Amino acid sequence: MERVFELTVNGERCAVTCEPDTTLLHVLRHELDLKGTRFGCGSGQCGACFVLIDGHPVSSCDTPMWAAEGKPVVTVEGLAEGAALHPLQQAILREQAAQCGYCISGILISAAALLARDPHPDERAVVAALDRNLCRCGVHQRVVRAVVRAAEAGR
């Protein structure tokens, strides 16, 4: 039975009418028109659909709306402040760390969560934080370098 769910997405309160088991990913992409979060595997294993819920990276493809209700959600679109890109987004561009770009929104979310809890991670911490994000293009080294450089720029 459909019902109204209220949540805050990228700082804006919104209400969505859907079934309780509708995935957060579906709502973000099809109801709120936020296309940056990608559908990858559909089972929470690849990281393409990661968003921040209460500051933690969560797979939105297997998160039902009832679990996200009333919580702050940040998508890759919400990392930027207006026209100013997040330092991670700038670093990814500077390092040319996105090849096909499919996985990069989830990687940015995982990296943002890392920098929020550890503003000065070393390479090992970055690798560990991005462990759940799969990239078929093999740009992991460039991504790790970009995250480390973004952290250095924030010092």
Q: What is the pLDDT of residue 21?
A: 97
DSSP state of 88: H
Q: What is the pLDDT of residue 155?
A: 58
- Give average pLDDT by consecutive 10-residue segment, the chain, 155 residues: 96 96 98 95 93 97 96 96 91 91 94 96 96 90 94 78
Side-chain-side CA neighbours of 112 within 13 Å: the count stands at 29
Q: What is the pTM of this model?
A: 0.94
The C-alpha angle 93, 95, 101, rounded to 5 degrees, equals 55
Domains of the chain: 3-78 (3.10.20.30), 87-153 (1.10.150.120)
d(CA 88, CA 81): 12
